[in-house]
Amino acid sequence: MQIDMHTHVLALAADPEFSVEYGREGSLCIYRSAGAVPAHRMPTEDEWEESGFSRKGWPIIGGAESMRDHPGFDKIVLLSVSPQWLDGRLIGTVDPTGISGVEGPPHPEKCNDYIAGLVRQDPETLVGFASVNPAYQGPEAAVEELTRAVHELGLSGVKLYPMYQHWSPDDRELAFPVYQCALDLGIPVMFHQAGSTRIDASLGLGRPALLDDVGREFRDLVVIIAHMGIPWQDEALFLLTKHPNFYGELSYLIAALSPRELFSFLHKAEPFFVPLEKLFFGSDYPGFLYDPVVLRDKLLTLNDHAEPLGLDPIPRHKLEGIMGDHAAAVLGW
């Protein structure tokens, strides 16, 4: 079984100009590190064009496009992004071209409807995770929306974005009702509990350790730490050690580490008391560094680095398990 636990679709705003600016902001550090734009000042319009980052933006990715780019995968998790304010603009998953089949003008309050619309097009392969933002219209509205997203729309989990939405995951008043709701609904909660290259994202609210109280209070809740907490991957590992129902998803980390570093990271998990059964593959597709096929090959060939590093290979079934069997076992897929 092969599962990509972390993918995105559609757009964050109907306006293509916004998507270009948003993409540039998040990619600036990447283009700078690659030497494609100046490191000591903001690039000019011409320099952006020369770097290959054009003003055209990206094609809208729907279910069909995602499946085309995931050959051999059995399941692809599509993550919704709930409404949030960014510089006075309401953003969140929208479908500007109508491919999800949801009618009416694009609006982030319909984020979960868009994801459900795509899942209906191939429910065997596509798995939808809802999103709610308890800081948008309060915890009661978030609980109501999450219940609707699971009972009426048939979504299978929830993705939360505290650092982007400026709330703390250990906020008992704002956030705990959402966790209780997820527990009652029997769905997993995935947190973007990791860094972000966005200036507006609050790094302090991204610390994996903020999930400790969540695990202490909601012992039976299945929690998935997205991006394995990068750059706090040891902190995330320790949460997986401590909390029996916590799991980690490898997107971003799997792209940022060299194969040797990734091998070493996985190699140290079990001595750190984290069984590799707790780790799931994710790509963060369609980000341009996040080709699911390339990342799958990287993971499955990691044992090439065992001998040069003087370490034992990782059992093949455990690497294959990270590719999907581990998540399938936990989530009952």
Q: Given the rule CB under 5 A, which residues bind Zn ion?
A: 284
Cβ at position 163, least distance to Zn ion in Å: 12
By the 8 A CB rule, do 65 and 126 touch? no
Q: Give the nearest distance from C-beta 81 to Zn ion in angstroms.
A: 9
Q: Which is nearer to Zn ion, 222 or 226 (CB)?
A: 226
| CA angle in degrees (0–180, nearest 5) for 8-210-75 | 25
Q: How far is the CB of 6 from Zn ion (least distance, A)?
A: 5
11 vs 314 by CB, closer to Zn ion? 11
Cis before 286 (ω within 30): yes
Q: Which residue, 48 or 252, is less far from Zn ion as judged by CB?
A: 252
Beta-bridge mates of residue 280: 249
Least distance to Zn ion, CB of residue 146, Å: 19
212 vs 284 by CB, closer to Zn ion: 284
Listing DSSP states for 236-268 in one string gives HHHHHHH-TTEEEE-TTHHHHS-HHHHHHHHHH
- Confirm if 91 and 13 have CB atoms less than 8 A apart: yes
Q: Kindly state the smallest distance separating residue 226's Cβ from Zn ion, in Å.
A: 7
- Of the pair 26, 313, the CB lying nearest Zn ion is at 26
Q: Which one, of 196, 181, 112, 197, lies nearest residue 153 by Cα? A: 112
Minimum distance, C-beta of residue 34 to Zn ion, in the bound complex (Å)? 21
Comparing CB distances to Zn ion, the nearer of 143 and 223 is 223
Closest-by-Cβ residue to Zn ion is 284
With H, G, I as helix, E, B as strand and everything else as coil, classify residue 157: strand
Are 195 and 202 a contacting pair, CB within 8 Å? no
Alpha-carbon span 328 to 305, nearest angstrom:
27
Are 1 and 74 within 8 A, CB to CB?
A: yes
> What is the nearest approach in angstroms of Zn ion to the Cβ of residue 63?
17
Q: Using H for helix, E for strand and C for coil, what is the string for 290-329?
A: CCHHHHHHHHHCHHHHHHHHCCCCCCHHHHHHHCEHHHHH
Select 18 or 148, whichever has its Cβ closest to Zn ion.
18
